[in-house]
């Protein structure tokens, strides 16, 4: 008998096989290959110490003669032994996989919630169980980055890349740290070039690459990279601003102004565009335009600082309803309506003492053209404060927008009864006009004109 050993797979070839069985080695080969393929799949789930079990799986069914000779004693015992070992190994392996998945998922949850210390602890436990997982080291690198532990972050990201050289996210994160945190622009360029080679459609990578070249004052290649990024992601106003800075440094002022105007058309609340545009106008001697843009920049900067301050306050006192309400107002003033909605809702959940969050939510929904949601919020606010003329007027406008003209008239008349204003009478006139009640519409419009003249 001789033995052929191929890694962990053991196959026995009996020299007297064909003499003692009706099965030839050639006729049996398909069965043997089938078992080998089965074992290859099983091997991914079994530790290496299960070599004996794999031997039993492959060996006993392969020899009908030996099965008959040993079937009375050895085979039954072997099958029992195999069953016990295989079951315990599978159970242990599945338990390890379950623990790994639990630690990894907990780490992701803590990352989303902003608790980097807890995230790192969970990822480290997962890394102990699966140290060769590039995803674990990537997540650890990101978590260390949020704590400004740059060397640890770089080490983990490099490990992830070593395990998977095509890991685009890890290379991008590493390039970003090199540029933004450690001022290693050459290393940043090396990583970002790898990213765009792996994924030519990565607008983020081209954008960051252009930013790096701009920082190095390599204006021509910066322009090429930023223009490529803009083609891939035309809605990113930050790219417009950096491309304008390239033109500014090249003294191509008209081109810079044109690109900034495009950016403002897409998002008028991005502060940096107004700052650059204001300086460009001043450079051209257009003082009034320049000062106007710089004032707008100051206003937007103050709004951003308010959001940051109230967000920190809500973070420090997560159960304070007023902190969340003030955060929502700051976000709303800055035009960040979608961000304001969960802030106002949180203040309501925490029991804000009056109707203000509902009213603010109604205004946000109205600006987002979610009229039915806005109407529902104004109705809820009126339940809490039925003496607010503004709430009746807002509810009436929602009814008008939803073509509920009779209801609109009732709410607008309630608003006028509480506080007669020219605006309320004008809204009432329009509602009467929609129903063809011309005389009443004219009377309401006359009242509007009289209040206008006062």
One domain, residues 282 and 335: no
Let me know if residue 75 belongs to a domain.
no
Residues β-bridged to residue 5: 10
Q: What's the pLDDT score for residue 18?
A: 33
Q: Do 273 and 325 fall into the same domain?
A: no
Round to whole Å and give the CA distance between 248 and 257.
9
The verdict on residue 100 lying in a domain is no
The end-to-end CA distance of the chain, in Å, is 116
Query: What six digits make up the tokens of 413?
Result: 């008349």
Q: How do residues 266-286 score in pLDDT, each as one tens digit?
A: 998 899 999 999 999 999 999
Q: Where are the alpha helices (DSSP H) in 149-218?
A: 150-163, 168-180, 185-198, 203-215
> Tell me, what's the pLDDT at 402?
97
Predicted pLDDT of residue 99:
83
312: left (phi over 0), alpha (psi -120 to 50) or beta: alpha
For residue 135, what is the domain's CATH number? 1.25.40.10
- In sequence order, which residues have a C-beta less than 8 Å from that of residue 207 and are 6 or more positions away? 225, 226, 229, 233, 236, 238, 239, 242
CA distance 270 to 193: 28
Q: Are residues 174 and 43 in the same domain?
A: no
**Spans of the chain below 50 pLDDT:** 1-87, 89-90
Instruction: State the pLDDT at residue 46.
Output: 38
Task: For residues 118 and 13, state if they share a domain.
Answer: no
Segments forming the whole domain that contains residue 294: 114-304
**Best CA proximity match to 278, nearest among 264, 422, 419, 341:** 264
Residue 105 lies in a domain: no
Residue 20 CB-density burial (10 A; 0-12 exposed, 13-18 middle, 19+ buried): middle
Q: Enter the pTM of the model.
A: 0.64
Contacts of 188 (CB under 8 A, 6+ apart): 175, 176, 178, 179, 208, 212
In this structure, are 292 and 326 located in the same domain?
no
Cβ pair 391, 421 in contact under 8 A: no
pLDDT, position 93 = 55
Q: Domain total for the chain?
A: 4
Residue 77, domain member (yes or no): no
Give the model confidence (pLDDT) of 136-178 as tens digits: 999 999 999 999 999 999 999 999 999 999 999 999 999 999 9
Q: Is residue 247 part of a domain?
A: yes
């Amino acid at each position: 008998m001789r033995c052929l050993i191929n890694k962990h797979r053991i196959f026995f070839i009996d020299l007297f096989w064909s003499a003692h069985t009706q099965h030839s080695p050639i006729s049996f080969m398909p069965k043997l290959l089938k078992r080998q393929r089965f074992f290859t799949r099983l091997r991914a789930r079994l530790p290496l110490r299960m070599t004996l079990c794999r031997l039993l799986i492959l060996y006993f069914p392969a020899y009908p003669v030996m099965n008959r000779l040993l079937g009375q004693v050895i085979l039954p015992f072997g099958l029992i032994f195999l069953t016990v070992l295989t079951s315990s190994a599978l159970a242990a392996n599945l338990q390890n996989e379950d623990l790994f998945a639990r630690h990894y998922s907990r780490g992701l949850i803590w990352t989303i919630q902003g608790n980097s210390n807890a995230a790192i602890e969970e990822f480290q436990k997962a890394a102990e169980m699966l140290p060769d997982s590039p995803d674990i080291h990537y997540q650890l690198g990101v978590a260390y980055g949020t704590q400004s532990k740059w060397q640890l972050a770089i080490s983990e990201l490099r490990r992830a890349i070593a395990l998977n050289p095509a890991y685009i996210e890890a290379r991008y994160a590493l390039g970003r740290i090199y540029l933004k945190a450690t001022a290693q622009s050459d290393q940043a360029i090396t990583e970002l070039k790898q990213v765009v080679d792996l994924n030519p459609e990565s607008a983020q990578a081209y954008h960051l690459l252009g930013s790096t070249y701009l920082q190095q004052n390599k204006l021509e290649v910066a322009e090429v990279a930023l223009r490529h990024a803009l083609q891939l992601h035309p809605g990113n106003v930050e790219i417009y601003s950096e491309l304008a800075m390239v033109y500014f440094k090249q003294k191509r002022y008209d081109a810079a102004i044109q690109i900034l105007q495009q950016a403002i058309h897409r998002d008028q609340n991005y502060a940096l565009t107004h700052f650059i545009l204001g300086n460009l106008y001043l450079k051209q001697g257009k003082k009034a335009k320049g000062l106007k843009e710089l004032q707008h920049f100051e206003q937007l900067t103050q709004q951003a600082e308010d959001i940051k301050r109230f967000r920190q306050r809500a973070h420090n006192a997560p159960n304070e309803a007023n902190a969340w309400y003030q955060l929502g107002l700051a976000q709303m003033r800055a035009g960040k309506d979608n961000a304001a909605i969960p802030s106002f809702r949180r203040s309501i959940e925490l029991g804000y003492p009056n109707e203000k969050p509902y009213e603010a939510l109604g205004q946000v929904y109205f600006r987002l053209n979610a009229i039915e949601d806005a109407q529902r919020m104004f109705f809820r606010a009126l339940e809490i404060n039925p003496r607010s003329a503004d709430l009746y007027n807002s509810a009436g406008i929602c009814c008008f927008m939803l073509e509920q003209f009779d209801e609109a008239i009732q709410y607008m008349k309630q608003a006028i009864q509480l506080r007669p204003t020219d605006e309320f009478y004008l809204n009432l006139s329009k509602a009467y006009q929609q129903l063809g009640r011309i005389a009443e519409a004219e009377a309401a419009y006359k009242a509007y004109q009289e209040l206008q003249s006062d």
